[in-house]
Structure 1
Amino acid sequence: MIALVDWVFGRVDATRVWRELADAQVNYSFDEVRRPQWNIDHYRIELPPERPGQPEPRGSWEHACRLVHDYEFSPPEIVRALYDPSAPLLGRDMLLEARFHGIHFYCGVRVTEVVNELRDGTDRVWGWAYETLEGHLERGKVTYEVVKRQHTGEVLFVVSCYSQGAPTLGPVTSLGWRLFGRRTQLRFYRRCAERMRQFVPALLRDEHPLDGPACTAGRLVCAPSDARMHRADTLAVHRVGPG
């Protein structure tokens, strides 16, 4: 196993910062969410279909759910996450490393909703949502869902999000967010879709595109599991709780 201290979080004591998330609160109220001050996004991509009916064992829907559960869809060049895989999904605290042009920001989110339902009588839906905690660059909520339309067999990966830059950002960070934040956010969604389109068909072929040594720090793991450290990471500027 690769020790996380030798890996990507560099000079940051990631385990300590992750522990401190337990005392943090969600940094916004839903009553504040409205256009045009907030970005409201909805993305949907098609994955390999199944036969109509309930999700198939080891089929497209099950593989996609597993990727979503473990945060494997996240593009490691943009966002990486540290969390405790033994803890229940609902209430899971995650320390995110957001990577912006040589600056790595460390921010907390918490899983506040798990979706497991039959929607509209036909759509089998599983997923979860996290919300931003105090100190995050942003304020808002992201929901990741895998949907099987059982009457047609279609399988979808759906991302829904509302967000805005945190008003407590300092002037330098705020300028950087205005210049790169929204652009990077949209690129994150596109790359999530690309990874799901790549990984689900590979898993259906019984290939294992994410196999490899897991990065750990005690009981914590870092996701996605194909993230690797590069020499340039040691030169990055590290900021904890910039918001």
Structure 2
Amino acid sequence: MPKAAPLYELQKKRLDAYMDAGYNFDPDKAADYTPDAGWRVDDYETELPTEAPGPAEAQGSWAAAREVLRNYTFPPPNLITGIFLPDQPLDQRVMVLRGRFLLFTFWFGVRIGAVTDETRTLADGSQEQVWGYNYRTLEGHFERGQIDFSVHKNLTTGRVWFHIHAYSQTGRISNPFYWLGFRLFGRMLQKRFATQSMKRLREQVEEMLRKGWTSPAAQQAPPVQSVSAQEEAREQLREST
């Protein structure tokens, strides 16, 4: 049987459509996006295998997590799959997210807003090595906001962990069916995405360490399924592309 084409080739038209799309919120006003202003602000964290004190090891837990983050293999594919050009620089990456909700498949666009690669001094005087990035929602997304993914190592203790920080708000949804669905299930899906992403990243890091630091294949995910044949799904697809 012929080998299936990679997702970024199958979804080239959608990727092209989002390359010049604008954000559906103003990232410069991030300080105003608080719970009092009607935004959800979330933080999640999970422990990863520890390392010896000192800078991150070349083939250790921190470096393995960095590769999992870079390849975006940690989100649960039954909820979200990221599709992007593998040779595009990370700080310029645009992704099409294939989301699954109820009986439908949806397509959303996001863009990497910033990449972090630094050593920070903590309040107790110790230092931590941090790598990560954020992505921001583009026009047509059902939500608006930003999510940050980062891997940290305390250089004094050797502790390594993965952190998710996000602020979000339901975006403009013209179809009342989808609006109601996201009102009822959107928060549950957000939490499931975060908890399953942490679990999958931890499992992939542990597997890489067991195998001697073997990186997962970029964009490892099931083949793309056709969008729902129902008219409502087709209507949403037209609105978001």
Normalising by the smaller structure, the TM-score range is 0.7 to 0.9
SS in 2 for 1:90: helix
1:170-212 Cα distance to aligned partner (Å, 9 max, x none): 212111111111111100001001101211111111165946x
1:128-156 Cα distance to aligned partner (Å, 9 max, x none): 00000000111000000010111100001
Q: CA deviation at 1:26?
A: 0.8
- Segments of 5+ residues of structure 2 without an aligned counterpart are none
Choose which of 154, 159, 164 in structure 2 pairs with 1:149: 154
- Alignment partners' CA distance in 2, 1:3 and 1:46: 36
- Segments of 5+ residues of structure 1 without an aligned counterpart are 215-222
Percentage identity across paired residues of the two chains: 34
Normalising by structure 1, we get a TM-score of 0.84
1:22-75 Cα distance to aligned partner (Å, 9 max, x none): 221011024351214111000111000000100112100000000001101111
Within the alignment, does 1:33 sit opposite 2:12 as a pair?
no
- The structure with more strand, counted as a fraction of residues: 1
Aligned to 1:2: 4
- Alignment partners' CA distance in 2, 1:234 and 1:24: 24
Larger RCO, structures 1/2 (Cα 8 Å, 6+ apart): 1
- The structure with more helix, counted as a fraction of residues: 2
What is the root-mean-square deviation of aligned Cα atoms in Å?
2.3
- Alignment partners' CA distance in 2, 1:167 and 1:107: 13
The ranges of structure 1 where at least 4 consecutive aligned residues each deviate by more than 2 angstroms after the TM superposition are 167-170, 207-211, 233-243
Q: CA deviation at 1:234?
A: 4.4
- Alignment partners' CA distance in 1, 2:206 and 2:196: 16
SS in 2 for 1:187: helix
SS in 2 for 1:23: coil
Choose which of 116, 137, 140 in structure 2 pairs with 1:135: 140
- Alignment partners' CA distance in 1, 2:142 and 2:180: 12
Contact 1:96 1:109 in 2 (8 A): yes
Aligned to 2:84: 83
